[in-house]
Structure formats: C-alpha cells, structure tokens
Structure 1
C-alpha cells in the first residue's frame, strides 16, 4: 500500500477507504466497533489512517450519536494545583472510552463560576464535574449529569457528591502534630466548604487533647491568603510551634512568613499542608501533607458520570474517600 497524504486539505473517511481498498462504511465500522471487522481488513484500514494522518470528525460523531463525548470540569483556581490529580484520575477512565475533558477556571466569585459553567454547557458537554463552590442559580439543578468533587457549601439538586473525608483529614493532621509533642498548633483556614470540614476535624481532635485551638481564617486559600493568615497567627501567638494549613498552597505562603521572620522549618516551627499536591511532592519543598486522594475522587467521578449518562434516572449518591497522611521533612518534634 502506498499513497501520498492530501497536501491541500484534511483527509476524509473516503480517502481512507480508497487507500485501504474498502468501503467508507467499513472504515466507519472499524472506528466504532473494530472487533466486528476481520483482522486483515481492520489492519488495512488502520494502516491507511496512520499513513494519511486521518482524524475522525468529532462534529460528525456528535451528529450521529447525539453526544459530544465531552466532560466539563470547573475548577476554582489554576494556581491551586490540587486539581491535577483529580484530572488525571478522570482521564484514566475516560480517555480509553473516547471522552475528553474540557477544563474551565472560574476563580473565586459566584458570577465567574456561572460564566465558566454556562460556557461548558453551551458546548453541549455530556456531563459536568464541579470542583468549585457552585453559584446560587446552579443549586436548583444542572442540565446534565453532574458530580460535585470535594466538599462545597452547597450541592446542586440531583448531583452526586464525591469527596475526600476532610473532617477525618483535619483530624489526621492534628493527631500527627500532637503525637510529635506540639501543644501550640495554629491552623490557617479558608471560608469554602472543604476548609470548613478540615477545620472542624482539626478543632475536634485538638479539643479532645485539651489543647487550645489557634485558628487564623481568611476568605480564600491562595498563597497570599496563607501569608496573611500566618502573619496574623504569629503576631497574636508568637509561641506557636506548628502550623496546619488548609491546603499546600497556603502552606507555601506560611513558609514565606517564617523565612522573613528568621524561623526554620521544621526546627522552629513544623508545617503540614493538605491535598498532597505537586507542591507538596516537590523534592525542594517536601511538605508533610494530608493526601485527599484526588485521583481516586476523579476515578469515582468518571465512573459515576458514565453510569448517569447511560441511565439518567439513577439517584444521586454521596461517596467519601478516606484520606492518607504523607509525612515528609516539614514536621518534627518541637524544639526543647
């Protein structure tokens, strides 16, 4: 078999059929159900596709099946890298089935998440994952099968909730620092749903140990918020020996404050984050962190959406994923 790829236009299914010596309908069958085609003909078609650089038209597939094979994912901030594992988990399930994930960043703000979500829905996605705080209009109901990933202040009617057990994770962080011997433990928190659950778990475990609760709460959970919260905490509680940040990004903000004040991690102050994001895994930062297992959340979200796409009548469920503490170099026993 030998032929040159068309130089002036995109190759079509008819070009593939001509080069492979088969009908266009057989090419279509190879693309949609290759197991139903003999090895010889399938290999001929696949060889022609490879030689021509043919790519099936997603628009044509959409018209034929009434599906776009697209899943929308709304996150709250590109700067917070917790969503990387979530996306990887989703794609590990969806990619082999021909689905692709369309990502939209809403940043904080109700109107922003509505705009991001409306933009995805306008592209006729088959399903939606919300990894941000839903806006008020979204709480009534979404148009497509929807999963909310992570604790939020509200969940749209008819949506599944798949989340890390953040209450348990906050308790894990507190227990780790208590077991190391810390009794002056500060917590940097935010105002979103996940932060609220992490704060509640932390507070409960600290109070059980009979230790004072030191909490610096901010509106957001960015590096800047972590910096401001850590500054407030050390201004008001300079004897703090350990800090638990609501996420790894806030922990990085705390590092900047500690460095500016001449305090060493973990010699003077231990620091623990949350999410086990790429920041925490960095060999340079090497942050002790609670792993929220976002990849497992993503895997579960993908499977749940696929089931809802096939049967929209399935009732929504709530699924909790157990967190895991990952101990690295930023926590140790307090200085004597």
Structure 2
C-alpha cells in the first residue's frame, strides 16, 4: 500500500503540500493540486480519513437538517447542497426534524456528535434564542428559510410576505374578488408571512379580510383537497383559491376536478414554491418562485468560504426575491 511519502516523492512536492491537497486547502495552485492527485491515482493511494481528521481537526463533512425527507421542495434543497459541497470534496450528513422541537434538537445534537465541520439547518420548531446560541458555538451554522434577528449574516431567506402579496395581486389583476386562501400551518413564520402578504394585496384593492375565507392547511396535498372542498362549500361564488404551497395547490386542483369545477374556467388556482411537478399538472400551475435551490447553494458557498476558505465565485446574498411564474391555472374571473 502506497504511503503519503511516496505520493510526495512522485509529485515532487512536500509532505505539507500533499496534506493541504487532501484537506482541500485553497492555498494550493490548481497545477500543483493536479500533480498530487495524479500521483495519488497512479500509486493507488487511499488517504486514511480518520488520520486526516485528527491531523487537520476537520472531518470534511457538513450536517444538513431539513424538516422532511420527502417532497420536491426538500429534495431540491438536499440535492443542491450535496452537489455544491461534493464538488468541493465535502460530504453531507442529512437528518430530519419533522417540525418538532424535540426532534430538531435531537437531530442537531446527532449532527454535532458526528463532528460535522458546520451545519446547515432548515429548522422550524426550535426557538430563535436556541439558533442564536447555536450560532455562537464552535460549530459554524447557516440557517435556511428563516430570518433570526441578531444572526442575519447566517440566514438565507426568501421574502415570503412579498411572495404572498405577488400571488394575490396576480389573482386580483385578473378581476377576481371572491378569493379563498389555503394557508400553511400558522405556527410557521413562513406561512404567517405569506398570509400577511395576501392580506396586504387585498387591502390595497379595498377588500376586507372577512371577505376572503381562510382555511389552515398543513402544506400537504390532502389538506389542499379538504381546504378547497370546504371553501367551495362555504363560499358560493368563489372564483379563485390561492394556496401557500404547490403541494396543497395540487390537492385543490384535484378537489375542484372531482367536484366538477373546471380550472381555470370556473376556479383559478395559484400555488407557491414552483417545485418541479407544478409545470406538469393539468392545467399547468401558476405559482410563486421560491428559490430554495438558490438558498441552499448560497448557504453551502457561505460554509465553504467561512470554514474552508474556499472563495465564493459569486457575492454571498441573504435575501431572495420571489417572482410570479404565470401558467394556465390562473384565468380571468368568470364575470370580469
């Protein structure tokens, strides 16, 4: 079995340089890095990960906490973070918190016990105070989809209030006045912010909150179905339903179809997130772009820069602006 000394000799560089290449140190030129990698490959050298970790005090692993492991939204986040870090020689350990404080705390403790060099967290149940304390610990942490006062430089968020406003304004611009809203669980700040944007757009158009019926869903498809059926039953004349995410919008469209209500001829439906399946629904879903992949990429680049001294190729941004993605599920109000 080849040794690090043989790699050093074959590449014509010092042991320290070989070590820097193995640890992903940015201070090595690309030409030198390639010489070392070629020598390692030709000799069949396999670095001892444990020895590397002890020598550098790095494990080259980053912990990623998400709320759920299923669905397009978190799938996009996980795949983007993994790809960015993998391209830089790092590995990702993923765990889920299931929007439960105890589970999130246990998941973060697990990632810390794995000696992760840094954490990227999509945490929804733990307190802001806990996240601020975590940010002050020895393990660097980036927070996705949550703005925490005092650690804004570590947070990567979309303007959810503006996104909710954009969705409702698009519906109002099509002449709709009888508008229902299916929110996410209102214990979540992103759900509250999107609803606040909805109310702001209504107010600008002289529509009272009481005129727009609200159904509190849970971000899953079934609550979109139940919410749409409830709104249609309780509010005759409803011409549009805005949903706080695409999964619930998909359920709402299914419920409308099964109730014999045509989309968008009799009922327009708008979602939020612009996940992959939204463009394959029938009709294709009008939605608000929630750049979760861009947020994940930026958080990963921030970790690489802060922890591993890998300079980001683009400026680090923390606030992302949502945009409307207009498709066929939004049409003119029947009486407009």
Pair 1:290 & 2:288 matched: yes
Pair 1:74 & 2:65 matched: yes
Q: CA deviation at 1:205?
A: 0.5
Partner of 2:175: 181
What secondary structure does 2:324 align onto?
strand
Q: CA deviation at 1:41?
A: 5.3
Counterpart contact for 1:141–1:157, Cα < 8 Å:
no
Q: CA deviation at 1:16?
A: 7.5
Partner of 1:332: 331
What secondary structure does 2:161 align onto?
helix
Aligned partners of 1:279 and 1:289: how far apart in 2? 11
Partner of 1:171: 165
Partner of 2:312: none
Q: CA deviation at 1:13?
A: 4.3
Counterpart contact for 1:20–1:48, Cα < 8 Å:
no
Aligned partners of 1:15 and 1:262: how far apart in 2? 74
Counterpart contact for 1:276–1:290, Cα < 8 Å:
yes
Counterpart contact for 1:27–1:45, Cα < 8 Å:
no
Residue correspondences, number: 315
Q: CA deviation at 1:88?
A: 4.4
Note closer, same or farther for the CA distance 1:281–1:91 as it changes in structure 2 (3 Å cut): farther
After superposition, residues 201-220 of structure 1 pair within 5 angstroms as: 201-211=197-207, 212-218=211-217, 220=218
* Greater displacement, 32-41 / 135-144: 32-41
Note closer, same or farther for the CA distance 1:13–1:35 as it changes in structure 2 (3 Å cut): farther
What whole-Å deviation, never above 9, does each CA across 1:285-308 have from its counterpart, x for those lacking one?
632110111122123222333444
Q: CA deviation at 1:70?
A: 1.8
Pair 1:141 & 2:133 matched: yes
What secondary structure does 2:103 align onto?
helix
Aligned partners of 2:228 and 2:87: how far apart in 1? 44
* Greater displacement, 188-197 / 30-39: 30-39
Partner of 2:146: 151
What is the TM-score normalised by the length of structure 2?
Answer: 0.80
After superposition, residues 12-27 of structure 1 pair within 5 angstroms as: 13=3, 17=7, 25=15
Q: CA deviation at 1:27?
A: 5.6
What secondary structure does 2:156 align onto?
strand
Partner of 2:222: 224
Q: CA deviation at 1:245?
A: 0.8
After superposition, residues 53-64 of structure 1 pair within 5 angstroms as: 55-64=46-55
Aligned partners of 2:13 and 2:296: how far apart in 1? 40
Counterpart contact for 2:8–2:36, Cα < 8 Å:
no
Within the candidate set 42, 56, 81, 1:65 is matched to 56
The CA RMSD measured in Å over matched residues stands at 3.3
* Greater displacement, 285-294 / 88-97: 88-97
Q: CA deviation at 1:323?
A: 0.6
Q: CA deviation at 1:118?
A: 1.6
What secondary structure does 1:72 align onto?
strand
Within the candidate set 235, 241, 245, 2:233 is matched to 235
Partner of 2:89: 98
Partner of 1:249: 247
What secondary structure does 1:274 align onto?
coil
What secondary structure does 2:47 align onto?
coil
What whole-Å deviation, never above 9, does each CA across 1:186-234 have from its counterpart, x for those lacking one?
111122111111110111101211233221113x211222223223222
Pair 1:110 & 2:101 matched: yes
* Greater displacement, 206-215 / 268-277: 206-215
